[in-house]
Amino acid sequence: MDILPQISSLSGELLSWYDRHHRDLPWRISPPMAARGIRPDPYHIWLSEVMLQQTTVPAVKAYFAKFLKRWPTVRDLATAPTDDVMAAWAGLGYYARARNLKKCAEAVAAEHGGQFPETEDGLRALPGIGDYTAAAVAAIAFNRQVAVMDGNVERVISRLYAIATPLPAAKPLMKQKVALLTPADRPGDFAQAMMDLGATICTPKRPACSLCPFNNACEALRLHDPEHFPVKAAKKERPVRQGAAFVAVNGDGEIYLRRRIASGLLGGMTEVPTTGWTARIDGETSATAAPFPADWQVAGTVTHVFTHFELRLSIYRAQVASKIASNDGWWEPVTNLEAQALPTVMKKAIAQAIPRAFSKASTYISGHNS
DNA sequence: CAGGCGTGGCC
DNA sequence: TGGCCAAGCCT
């Protein structure tokens, strides 16, 4: 008995499921549209894929619309000021993505005539495009028969074959399985179908196996334990760091801001002056670490959770009579803060000191001060 | 390869 | 309510 018919049957079942249950997304050409000959815009696919790296669909939608309206083509993005791109990305997180997004747009404009490369290897060579994004753009935008594997696909495949090897060691085997399933016809839809399946049916908790097109073949379901897969290495605990942030306002209603260095945590983003963020030390962080002398008043505490540590920031506020001479920052009208490249942790710090600084103040104020 | 790198929503 | 998670990339 030949095994190929069964494999093609699985991908056929999935595509049939996708035709009926695909999600409608702003960057996606749905099967009915594709049937009318509409092709995806590679710029839209690339932009959405970068935004979706480690980020949820609901969080991405507004940013995707904003970027497309402001920079309709990759050439527009290539010529945009980097500061504008960083400010537009503010709040979405993982800011290296924004820096690389700009670099990638410049490379496409300058080295590829404004057209994205159509091959996985060509895409993979661009800044911010790794194995997943290269395969996703090649498959979805250019209909290339390549294996696309993200976190969703890993979950689906690990369950379908009950792969007990922990991630990330199991990735090569899992990618091999994906490659065997990927059809020559509609590889882009197949990739999107696998991700939709993982996002809506084969979910991390309480998967809806009764609705799954693979439920007749799924080894993890046969073992009555789909949630057991994928197996992952144990996570490390998150350390606590602490520091202080200083919010100074002058008589003209301006706040003192600085630019962070281009690399590392929140690289290239805007901040209020802060101390270093060090391992927690018992005792109060004092105002003696302020960027310049002023009547610094305690304004409370802000807690912010990053991926690899938790930050507790003591907030200090000062009203200053005149603009302190400074060589590393600038004074910005408080009324213009929404246009700045302020990451969420900095908006929290500013909102703690100046509750009316942002229109969505409650978004940034926890209510637990000290 | 393992660690650095954000944020908001969910149960 | 706090731990967990979400379409990864880079070094």
Tell me the CA–C1' distance in angstroms for A357 and C7.
34
Portions of chain A given CATH number 1.10.340.30 = 4-228
Per-residue pLDDT, A361: 61
Superfamily grouping for domain A4-228: Hypothetical protein; domain 2 (1.10.340.30)
pLDDT of A366 above 80: no
Separation of alpha carbons A161 and A143, rounded Å: 26
The mean pLDDT value for A259-268 works out to 94
Determine which of A90-104, A113-127, A348-362 has the lowest per-residue pLDDT on average. Answer: A348-362
Question: Mean pLDDT, chain A, as a whole number?
Answer: 92
Whether residue A49 lies in the annotated active site:
yes
Minimum-distance nucleotide, CA of A233 to C1': B2
The mean pLDDT value for A129-139 works out to 98
The mean pLDDT value for A29-58 works out to 96
pLDDT tens-digit series, residues A73-82 = 999 999 999 9
The mean pLDDT value for A1-23 works out to 80
Minimum-distance nucleotide, CA of A152 to C1': C7
Residue that the structure tokens 């209020």 belong to: A272
Tell me the CA–C1' distance in angstroms for A3 and B5.
43
Nearest residue for B3, CA–C1': A308
Per-residue pLDDT, A328: 86
Tell me the CA–C1' distance in angstroms for A237 and B4.
15
- Confirm whether any atom of chain B, the nucleic acid strand, is less than 7 Å from CB of A168: yes
Residue A1's pLDDT band (boundaries 50, 70, 90)?
very low
Residue A151's pLDDT band (boundaries 50, 70, 90)?
very high
User: Strand B: which positions are within 7 A of a protein CB?
Assistant: 1-9, 11
Portions of chain A given CATH number 3.90.79.10 = 240-364
pLDDT of A5 above 50: no
* Long-range contacts at A77-82 (CB < 8 A, ≥ 24 apart): A77/A101, A77/A102, A77/A105, A78/A102, A78/A105, A78/A106, A78/A108, A78/A109, A78/A110, A79/A109, A82/A268
Torsions phi, psi for A72 (to 5 deg): -65, -25
Determine which of A113-127, A146-160, A311-325 has the lowest per-residue pLDDT on average. Answer: A311-325
pLDDT of A98 above 50: yes
Per-residue pLDDT, A345: 96
The mean pLDDT value for A323-334 works out to 85
Per-residue pLDDT, A370: 39
Nearest residue for C11, CA–C1': A264
Per-residue pLDDT, A235: 81
The mean pLDDT value for A29-35 works out to 95
What's the per-residue H, E or C state across A278-295? EECCCCCCCHHHCCCCCC
Tell me the CA–C1' distance in angstroms for A352 and B3.
31
The mean pLDDT value for A255-282 works out to 89
Check if CATH label 3.90.79.10 holds for domain A240-364.
Answer: yes
Task: Give the 3-state secondary structure of residue A148.
Answer: coil
pLDDT tens-digit series, residues A279-320 = 766 555 666 788 888 999 999 999 999 999 999 999 999 999
**Which of residues 215 to 244 on A have a Cβ less than 7 angstroms from any strand B atom?**
233, 236
Nearest residue for B2, CA–C1': A168
Task: Give the 3-state secondary structure of residue A82.
Answer: helix
Residue A4's pLDDT band (boundaries 50, 70, 90)?
very low
Minimum-distance nucleotide, CA of A168 to C1': B1
**Tokens found for residue A323:** 């603009």
> What is the percentage of chain A residues whose pLDDT exceeds 90?
84
Minimum-distance nucleotide, CA of A311 to C1': B6
Residue A195's identity, in one-letter code, is: M
- Cβ neighbourhood burial of A162 (10 Å; 0-12, 13-18, 19+): middle
Per-residue pLDDT, A327: 72
Tell me the CA–C1' distance in angstroms for A45 and C3.
32
Per-residue pLDDT, A279: 75
Tell me the CA–C1' distance in angstroms for A158 and B3.
24
pLDDT tens-digit series, residues A199-254 = 999 999 999 999 999 999 999 999 999 999 999 988 888 899 999 999 999 999 99
